[in-house]
Amino acid sequence: MEKSILKDPGLYVMVSIGLLIMIFLPIMMDMFAIMQITQYVVLSVYALSLAYIWGYGGILSFGQSCFFGLGAYTFAVASINMGSTSLPFILAIIIPALFGVLLGYFMFYGRLSDVYLGVVTLVVTLIFWKLINHTAGPQYAIGDARLGGFNGIPSIPILNMPTANGQMMDPIQMFVTFMAILIMVYVGLRLLIASEFGRVSISIRENEVRSSLLGYDVRRHKVVVFSIGCGIAGMSGAMWATYQTFIDPNAFSLEMSAKALVWVMAGGVGTLAGPIIAVVILQWISLKLGQLNIINNFVLLGLILVPLVLILPKGLLPTVKQWSQDLWTIWKKNKANEGDTIIKESETVNAGRRK
């Protein structure tokens, strides 16, 4: 595992880009731009949760927003009641991961097909969305935190600095912290994918029957992969809640689930860097289209995405890699042909001189 990771230039490139952004962007850009980019960072972590379970576990979840929203509400309720944010942030990872274990156990040990698995995750998301929307009365409270129904939970505490006597983070500190989390999640997933567990997960994605015949517990591996993705989604939900200081049932919406699917498809299934790039590009386009006020930005975004998926069916990053390899191969062939031509011309000249 270590050798394969150390020899992969892509890991170094992505980590270097992330570190450069984390260090220099706060110096170069104004506060509004930093806050906007912080949103991209949070959504990138969310996209990685689906990129991992779909691209490397073969598990297509149509309800990833279920775990995103669960993490957001867990953080909101726990932080309001506890008055701090460190433990609630950890709980926002653990509770969605445990719920993912429970749901995954019934789905995978129940041997549901991929289609029914997608339906189940979608239905569970709709149940949470419907449930949270019907908690508007004062009786729907957990301790000091009122769920608020469709109005949501306001005044969610901002993430505290763990080493600064509970001091709240300012936007710059939050951006740096979230960038560090994104880099750690990316590197952690790369290491996990390169490990023996990751290689088994990929073999299960490619051929479940063959992996089972080789003695691997397919269902257990799927449950673990699914729960890891759920925990990452929950963490991104907590980041989203503290970033906005507000959360509402839209965290569980089909729109949030659809966005994750679009980002992974557009960036490239089976990659981790691709969905991150797709989040930045598509969210930026969506922001600019929303400023035009000509037509609904989701309609325009759809008109852009449909041709994109048809032209680049493998996704943006895999297609760019393939094009780069093709151009490199063509360039090497041309250089080789030029060398052969020069050798032949020199041989012809030498032959003429001998005569």
* Residue 33 CB neighbours (<10 A): 12
- Give the range of the structural domain holding residue 335, as residue numbers without chain letter: 315-355
Say whether both 227 and 92 belong to one domain: yes
Say whether both 34 and 131 belong to one domain: yes
Regions of the chain where pLDDT drops below 70:
1-6, 163-166, 293-298, 300-301, 336-355
According to the model, what pLDDT value does residue 113 have?
82
According to the model, what pLDDT value does residue 326 have?
75
According to the model, what pLDDT value does residue 163 have?
65
Say whether both 332 and 305 belong to one domain: no
Say whether both 174 and 189 belong to one domain: yes
Say whether both 332 and 285 belong to one domain: no
According to the model, what pLDDT value does residue 300 have?
66
Say whether both 48 and 189 belong to one domain: yes
**Helix, strand, coil percent values for the chain (each to nearest 5):** 75, 5, 20
According to the model, what pLDDT value does residue 158 have?
92
According to the model, what pLDDT value does residue 231 have?
97
Write the pLDDT tens digit of every residue in 130-166. Answer: 999 999 888 889 988 999 998 999 999 999 877 656 6
pTM for this predicted structure: 0.89
According to the model, what pLDDT value does residue 219 have?
93
Distance CA(242)–CA(39), nearest Å, equals: 11
Say whether both 201 and 129 belong to one domain: yes
Domains identified in the chain, total number:
2
Say whether both 193 and 63 belong to one domain: yes
Say whether both 77 and 161 belong to one domain: yes
Distance CA(194)–CA(190), nearest Å, equals: 6
Say whether both 115 and 23 belong to one domain: yes
Say whether both 203 and 238 belong to one domain: yes
According to the model, what pLDDT value does residue 112 have?
85
Reported as half-sphere exposure (CB side, CA atoms, 13 A), residue 133 has a value of 10
Say whether both 187 and 277 belong to one domain: yes
